[in-house]
Structures are given as C-alpha cells and as structure tokens.
C-alpha cells in the first residue's frame, strides 16, 4: 500500500517513511519540491504525489545519489518533466562516470551486515541533472538554503529553512541508530551516525555535523529515522557534535577515500573481514539478511 504523505510542519511533508525517508517541501504559492526519491521499490508511494499536491513538483533535489535516495529520481523526473538538482561533486556517481566507494561491512552493526546483500546500484541520469547554484539558493525554494555537508558522500547537501529553523539532513546524520540491532528494529529517536557502512570520510562527516549543530535547528528531518523536534534539540545537536564518534573500526575510519570532479581518485585497501569465523556473528547476520529480505519484499508489495 502506498503511504499517504504526512504534514510535519507548515512547509514540510513526509512522503516516504520506512527504511528510508523522502520529503516534499512546499512554498507559500502551493508549489512543491521533492527531496530524495527512496528505493526503487518505493515508486508506487511517490508516483501519484502530483495528484496529492494538485500539481507536479517544480524540481527534485537529491541530498546525495545513494541507491536509497536516488532510486526513482530518473523515472519521476521524466514523468513530471522536471530537473534533478544535485551538487556537482555528486554528478559522476549519477552519470555512470564513477561508482561510489564500496560499502564497508566491517564497521559492524545490522546495516553493515545488510550491505553484504545490497547491490551497489548505478544510475545514469545524464541529461536530467542540474547542478545546484553556487549561492546555495535553489530558485524554486528561496526560503531554503542548501548547505554542503560532505563526508557521507563528497557532494552531500542538507537543506535549511532559517525562518522555521527546519533542517533536512539527508544522511549527514540519522535520527535512529542503524548501527545497533535494537535501534534499527525500533527506530527509537536518537541522533546517530548517518549510514556508517557507506561513509568514506569520517573527518568530513564530523565537520558537517558541527556545521549542522551550529544552525540550532528545532526540527530535524533525516534520511533515516523519525522526525526529531523540540526546544532542546539545539542542545542535543551540540552534544551529538561534541561527542561525535566514528565506528571503532572500518575501511575508511583512519584512511578516507578521496574524490575529484570525476569521482573516486583513491580508495584505502580492503580491510580483513572476519565474517564467517564467528558463529554468533553468522547467526546475527542471517537474522539481518532475513530482515533485509522481508524489507525488500515489503517494498515490492507497496
């Protein structure tokens, strides 16, 4: 069953909620922009948003190009005749020029185990992409500022509404802990690392979290996890930034991947992966794979 959009704030609607979130940002003129497009299997939940909002969106914006955020960007942009705005450093991953750095199952936790069965999708959106303006203001969304938040990906962006103090953070952070089995199962609200197994530069990710904490947002809508809001959120964000701790181990923890306008230019060596040596880990991983299969089949059904 396609999900119904939920209004979260006067100009913010949640249009996808589950493994990954997507948002619609509306303007005072009742126009709207789609921010992120979910997994391929979420298409049914997104295709009729033009009916819900009474018109097609003015544009699609991607916080970044990972498979769970760009999954339907091409199809929806064609359907609605709109452009897909991305940061210029994200372009090579969306034109087939470069693959993202391989995900890292050795950071630990359920999401890391799931990456063993999630194929690294490659999209080719050549001809549909528009580069974000240098001044960070998207013409269709003058009330929102686009903020560069690299680390999770080199061209990752977040969206910030200064007047309403609303932050759309993509995977610069998460509002549930997907590195913990309990966190992933319950999606209990907690400021957490965004997509650890997919993050190839932890120092940049840390700097981006500090940048976001400085905004003093009272509403944080992330790519994964439930919305967080409240007067104490600025303090929670500051605490999260000051105690920011990358995973204890992992391919990119000490040695980040490097990038240029053309994509990946350096990858640290593949780490030793002890998967298979430890029976408890195998049992845990099997449970996660089953959960992953369940998630994927549920997505297929919607």
Stretch that binds Zn ion, among 44-52, 174-182, 188-196, 235-243 (CB under 5 A): 188-196
* Identity of the residue, 5 or 170, whose beta carbon is nearer to Zn ion in the bound complex: 170
Candidate segments 93-101, 159-167, 174-182, 216-224, binder of Zn ion by CB under 5 A:
216-224
Strands across the sheet with 157-161, in order?
144-148, 157-161, 166-170, 219-222, 228-229
- Of the residues 171, 177, 179, 201, which one makes contact with Zn ion according to CB under 5 A: 171
- Binding residues for Zn ion, how many (CB under 5 A)? 6
**Of 108 and 223, which CB lies nearer to Zn ion in the complex structure?**
223
Contact 61, 82 (CB under 8 A): no
State which residue, 37 or 218, has the beta carbon closest to Zn ion.
37
CA-wise closest residue to 193 among 178, 181, 208? 178
Candidates 23-31, 134-142, 195-203, 263-271: pick the segment binding Zn ion (CB under 5 A): 195-203
Nearer to Zn ion among residue 223 and residue 246 (C-beta): 223
Q: How far is CA 48 from CA 56, 93, 140, in A?
A: 9, 27, 21
Instruction: Give start and end residues of each alpha helix (H) in 168-278.
Output: 181-186, 202-213, 233-242
Q: What is the Cα–Cα distance from 149 to 121, expressed in whole angstroms?
A: 22
Find the binder of Zn ion among 223, 225, 263, 292 (CB under 5 A): 223
Query: Least distance to Zn ion from the beta carbon of 77, Å?
Result: 19
Least distance between Zn ion and beta carbon 267 (Å): 17
- DSSP 3-state of 228: strand
Residues listed for the chain: 302
Give backbone dihedrals phi and psi of 186, rounded to 5 degrees, phi first: -95, -20
Measure Cα distances from 162 to 65, 73, 86, 147, 214 in Å. Answer: 25, 27, 21, 12, 12
Nearest distance in Å: CB 285, Zn ion: 20
Comparing CB distances to Zn ion, the nearer of 68 and 201 is 68
Cβ atoms of 16 and 22 within 8 Å: the answer is yes
Scanning 63-71, 157-165, 234-242, 264-272 for contacts with Zn ion by CB under 5 A, the matching segment is: 63-71
Which two structure tokens, joined as six digits, stand for 122? 């490659």
Contacting Zn ion (CB under 5 A), which of 36, 68, 90, 104? 68
Q: CB of 60 within 8 A of CB of 37?
A: yes
**Span of 5-13, 60-68, 91-99, 183-191 interacting with Zn ion by CB under 5 A:** 60-68
Per CB under 5 A, 66 contacts Zn ion = yes
Residue 135 CB, shortest distance to Zn ion, in Å, is: 25
Interaction between residue 195 and Zn ion (CB under 5 A) = yes
Helices 233-242 and 202-213: angle between axes, nearest 10 degrees: 150
For Zn ion, the closer of residues 68 and 179 by Cβ is 68
Toward Zn ion, which CB reaches closer, 74 or 154? 154
Residues near Zn ion (CB under 5 A) are 66, 68, 171, 195, 198, 223
């Amino acid at each position: 069953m396609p999900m119904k959009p939920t209004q979260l704030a006067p100009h913010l609607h949640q249009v996808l909620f589950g493994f990954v979130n997507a948002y619609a940002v509306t303007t005072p003129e009742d126009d709207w922009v789609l921010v992120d497009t979910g997994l391929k299997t979420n298409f049914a939940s997104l295709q009729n948003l033009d009916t819900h909002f009474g018109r097609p969106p003015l544009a699609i914006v991607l916080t970044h190009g990972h498979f769970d955020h760009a999954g339907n960007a091409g199809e929806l942009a064609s359907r609605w005749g709109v452009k897909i705005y991305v940061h210029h450093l994200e372009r090579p991953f969306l034109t087939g020029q470069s693959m993202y750095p391989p995900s890292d199952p050795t950071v630990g936790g359920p999401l890391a185990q799931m990456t063993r069965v999630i194929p690294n999708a490659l999209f080719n959106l050549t001809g549909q992409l528009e580069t974000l303006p240098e001044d960070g203001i998207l013409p269709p969304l003058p009330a929102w500022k686009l903020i560069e938040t690299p680390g999770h990906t080199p061209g990752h962006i977040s969206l910030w509404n200064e007047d309403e103090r609303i932050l759309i953070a993509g995977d610069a952070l998460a509002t549930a802990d997907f590195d913990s089995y309990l966190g992933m199962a319950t999606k209990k609200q907690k400021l957490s690392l965004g997509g650890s197994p997919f993050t190839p530069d932890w120092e940049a990710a840390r700097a981006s979290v500090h940048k976001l904490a400085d905004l003093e947002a009272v509403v944080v809508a992330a790519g994964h996890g439930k919305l967080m809001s409240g007067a104490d959120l600025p303090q929670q964000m500051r605490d999260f930034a000051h105690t920011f701790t990358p995973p204890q181990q992992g391919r990119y923890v000490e040695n980040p991947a490097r990038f240029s306008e053309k994509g990946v230019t350096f990858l640290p060596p593949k780490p030793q992966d002890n998967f298979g040596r430890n029976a408890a880990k195998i049992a845990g991983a099997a449970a996660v794979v089953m959960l992953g299969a369940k998630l994927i089949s549920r997505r297929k059904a919607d």
